[in-house]
């Protein structure tokens, strides 16, 4: 461990200090589109809202709506190694900044391409091995209320001061070896989480199909 003057604390030798912007390649805004196909709104998508973020990787029932967007906005579609962040919303006791990561396995949970709503933002990390580090660090900061200190208000709605946060909030930045080891440890766990999530969604669907038939006598248990 060595003392870092910028962070005013010790960090592992070989690590540095900086903002999360050093891991971000580009950003994508959200799109709410239309409820049904009309005029040029023809690309069918599933829209991830702030309220859906916890449901993607956890146990709540996922009810992300299907929407239709302009074909020219297809560049906003979510891709492998994106991180979706809620930038508007929250409550007095819940900050903005909820997040979920997107992998090919996560996208396979849905029948349509994914896009985030316009109350969210998607960021793409520079390398595969950055995704889980950025997500779990972000989740740690969210769970500890850090984002309450990076919020502004517009028309009564709380907004995450995203640009300010990623550039000014300083963290200890791991070296490539540590990032690689962390990524290799987390990736199979992520695959298991998503596989279990898909199975749970399938069982919920079967329950919702079967239970009404059991209740009205169309089916029985032998």
Closest CA relative to residue 56, chosen from 170, 196, 175: 196
Residue ranges and CATH numbers for the domains of the chain are 2-215 (3.90.220.20)
Residue 222 to residue 217: CA distance in whole angstroms: 13
pLDDT tens readout for residues 12-53: 999 999 999 999 999 999 999 999 999 999 999 999 999 999
Question: What's residue 176's pLDDT?
Answer: 92
Question: What's residue 218's pLDDT?
Answer: 87
Residue 165 to residue 21: CA distance in whole angstroms: 9
Confidence grade of residue 198 (pLDDT, cut at 50, 70, 90): confident
pLDDT tens readout for residues 182-192: 999 999 999 99
The answer to whether 48 and 120 are in contact (CB under 8 A) is yes
In the DSSP assignment, the letter for residue 172 is E
> Which of the pair, 213 or 62, is modelled with greater confidence?
213
Residue 138 to residue 169: CA distance in whole angstroms: 11
Residue 7 to residue 167: CA distance in whole angstroms: 14
For residue 155, is pLDDT > 80?
Answer: no
For residue 58, is pLDDT > 80?
Answer: no
Parallel/antiparallel/unpaired status of strands 114-116 and 41-48 = parallel
pLDDT tens readout for residues 88-99: 988 888 999 999
Question: What's residue 44's pLDDT?
Answer: 96
Percent of the chain topping pLDDT 90: 77
- Per DSSP, which regions of 126-192 are E strands? 151-154, 157-160, 171-173
82-88 average pLDDT score: 96
213-221 average pLDDT score: 87
For residue 154, is pLDDT > 80?
Answer: no
Range with top average pLDDT, 54-68, 132-146, 149-163, 205-219 = 132-146
81-86 average pLDDT score: 96
Burial of 72 (0-12, 13-18, 19+ CB in 10 A): exposed
For residue 9, is pLDDT > 80?
Answer: yes
For residue 205, is pLDDT > 90?
Answer: no
CA 115 to chain centre: 11
Question: Hunting for tokens 């200190």 — which residue is that?
Answer: 149
Q: pTM surpassing 0.85?
A: yes
Confidence grade of residue 219 (pLDDT, cut at 50, 70, 90): confident
């Amino acid at each position: 461990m060595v003392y870092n003057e910028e962070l005013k604390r010790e960090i592992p030798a070989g690590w540095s200090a900086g903002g999360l912007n050093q891991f971000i390649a580009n950003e994508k805004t959200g799109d709410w589109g239309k409820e049904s196909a009309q005029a040029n709104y023809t690309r069918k998508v599933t829209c991830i809202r702030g309220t859906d973020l916890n449901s993607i990787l956890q146990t709540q029932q996922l009810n992300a709506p299907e929407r239709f967007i302009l074909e020219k906005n297809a560049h906003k579609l979510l891709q492998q190694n994106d991180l979706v962040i809620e930038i508007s919303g929250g409550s007095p006791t819940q900050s903005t900044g909820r997040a979920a990561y997107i992998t090919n396995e996560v996208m396979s949970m849905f029948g349509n391409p994914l896009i985030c709503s316009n109350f969210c933002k998607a960021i793409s990390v520079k390398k595969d091995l950055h995704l889980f580090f950025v997500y779990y660090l972000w989740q740690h900061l969210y769970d500890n209320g850090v984002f309450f200190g990076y919020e502004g208000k517009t028309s009564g709605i709380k907004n995450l001061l995203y640009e300010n946060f990623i550039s000014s909030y300083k963290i200890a930045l791991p070296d490539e070896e540590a990032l690689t080891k962390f990524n290799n440890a987390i990736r199979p766990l992520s695959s298991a989480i998503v596989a279990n999530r898909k199975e749970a969604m399938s069982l919920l669907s079967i329950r919702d199909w079967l239970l009404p038939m059991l209740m009205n006598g169309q089916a029985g248990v032998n």
